[in-house]
Amino acid sequence: MFYLCATNFLITVYQLNLSKMPAKIRLQRNGRKRYAYYHIVIADSRAPRDGKNVERIGSYNPNTNPATIDLDFDKALTWLNNGAQPTDTVRAILSYKGVLFKKHLLGGVAKGAFTAEEAETKFEAWVAEKANKVQAKKDGLVVSSDTSKKVQFDKETKKNVERANAIAKRHSDAVAAARAAAAPAPVVEEVAEEAAPEVTEAPEETEA
């Protein structure tokens, strides 16, 4: 009997310690060097960064534009309501996905500030607005990419034309030089100079 009571007591203490575990919502690094992606995990704040985690609730890939976020919304909200503390980066992710806003709305419902239906309407409006912003950003990236590709294409075209012109000029100069080297040398005709009459004696002066 005493053994059973002691065992139950130890189990109760263990469960209380678990319930008071300082849970953190943080990122766990994965992937290769210079191409890292992250799991969003629930872990004991006392555990090492890459140690064993309690649960994985999503992933975050910053290598895409915009970044790719896969999140179990309900689990993230449940852990927040149970007191789990997100790191700064995870807090930004939860804010981006609307988890923090939903928690805020539920807090308002609990305080009687508005009804659950009003909270849901507010959240749906926020989700629609967020989706429009994300789509606008994606469209802007596509336009920017197309413009950048056109500018790059124009530069490459201009460079190719200049290169072709330079090659054509070098070819033309080489042909002209080859023709000049193959042409026969001009014949120079020598013209014999007429010999001036030889003066042997000076003419005698005549008397007047």
pLDDT for residue 54 is more than 60: yes
- The pLDDT value recorded for residue 208 is 46
pLDDT tens, residue by residue, 153-203? 777 778 888 888 888 888 888 877 777 777 665 655 555 555 555 655 555
- The pLDDT value recorded for residue 31 is 87
Domain ranges for the chain:
19-113, 114-179
pTM score, whole prediction: 0.57
pLDDT for residue 34 is more than 80: yes
Instruction: Select 19-113's CATH number: 2.30.130.10, 3.40.1390.10, 3.30.1320.10, 3.30.390.10.
Output: 3.30.1320.10
Whole-number percent of the chain with pLDDT over 70:
72
Residue showing tokens 């909200």? 77
Distance (Å, whole) CA 12 – CA 110 = 30
Q: Where are the alpha helices (DSSP H) in the chain?
A: 2-19, 73-81, 88-97, 99-111, 116-182
pLDDT tens, residue by residue, 78-130? 999 999 999 999 999 999 999 999 999 999 999 999 899 999 999 999 999 98
Res. 49 pLDDT band, cuts 50 70 90: low
- The pLDDT value recorded for residue 16 is 37
